Every structure is written in C-alpha cells, then in structure tokens.
C-alpha cells in the first residue's frame, strides 16, 4: 500500500511538472506571435489552466518530501510537549481546510460536467478539463495530509511531513 501511495504522489508531481512545462510552451507560443507572422490564440488562457493544474498536482509530493515552507521561529522556542500539541492543531486545521478544498473542487468539476460549462475565451473548452486536474491534486493533497497524520500517530511523533519521510523519527 505504501508503494502505491508513493507512486500516486510521484505521478501527480510528474503531471504537475509537465503542466509547468506546458506553461512555458504557451508563453513561448505567444511570444512567437511577435516574431513570426501568426496571431496566437488563447495562449494566456491555457497558460492559466496549466499553472493552476501544476500548483495543485505538485502539493502532495512536496508535502511528503518536506518541501513546504514552515515558519518555525516561534515554534522552536517552545518546549517539546507544547510544540507537539501545536503541530497536531496545525495538522487538524490544515487537513480540515484541504478536505473542504478537495470537496469544493470535486463538486465544482461535477457541476461543470452536468451543466456542460465552457470557457468564455476564444476556444470554448469544457471547464471540467482544467478543473479535474485541480480536483485530483486537491484530493491527493488531502490523502497526503491524512497519511502524514496516520504515520505520525502510529510512530507517536509530530505530524511533520519531513519527519514522516525520514522514517517517522522526531522528538
């Protein structure tokens, strides 16, 4: 099961990286319209879709790798017990928000499918196409947070993704 979950994290990160490269391709396509005799159509719209997808698809893997930014100036001044309580409160709050975001994005995508909602740009793209990438990224991020909490509870450490990734060691 661990191998499957890690493969999902890596797969979404790879999709996120591909979407980020697609942002570059859209920008270069639009810049090419200034140097060559063609008019780029909807490149900025698609670059925005790819940017949103790349951000959400990369969340779970960066959490698992411990690469999210943590401001620990005040937390490091606290004693171990209070720091542990604060870490669990932060995990509970972040997991709750991530659950709400995942549910909202999944619902938004479903409604877009039901209503056959299309973008208002030059290319009438069905909106569920870019929304499904953000929904999937949010759902996998929620799974990563739940996974970090489970691993921390099992090893009786703080729910810190970097500690979970390092084999569950902590103070």
Q: Are 158 and 170 in contact (CB under 8 A)?
A: yes
Neighbour tally for 32: CB within 10 Å:
12
Q: Are 152 and 139 in contact (CB under 8 A)?
A: no
Q: What is the pLDDT of residues 160-169, one digit of tens each?
A: 644 444 444 3
Q: What is the pLDDT of residues 58-73, one digit of tens each?
A: 999 998 887 777 777 7
d(Cα 94, Cα 74) in Å, to the nearest integer? Answer: 19
What tokens appear for 150 in the block?
Answer: 């489970």
Q: What pTM did the predictor assign?
A: 0.85
Per the listing, tokens 């997991």 go with 95
Q: What are phi and psi of 121, to 5 degrees?
A: -80, -165
């Amino acid at each position: 099961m661990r191998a499957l979950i890690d493969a999902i994290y890596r797969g979404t990160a790879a999709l996120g990286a591909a979407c980020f490269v697609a942002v570059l391709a859209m920008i270069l396509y639009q810049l090419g319209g200034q140097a060559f005799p063609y008019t780029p159509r909807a490149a900025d719209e698609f670059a925005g879709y790819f940017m949103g997808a790349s951000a959400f698809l990369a969340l779970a893997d960066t959490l698992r790798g411990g690469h999210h930014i943590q401001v620990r100036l005040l937390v490091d001044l606290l004693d171990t017990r209070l720091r542990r309580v604060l870490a669990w409160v932060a995990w509970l709050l972040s997991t709750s928000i991530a659950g709400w975001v995942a549910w909202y994005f999944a619902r938004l995508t479903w409604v877009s499918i039901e209503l056959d909602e299309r973008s208002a740009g030059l290319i009438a793209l069905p909106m569920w196409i870019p929304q499904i990438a953000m929904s999937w990224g949010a759902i996998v991020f929620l799974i990563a947070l739940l996974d970090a909490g489970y691993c921390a509870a099992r090893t009786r450490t703080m729910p810190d993704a970097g500690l979970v990734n390092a084999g569950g060691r902590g103070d």
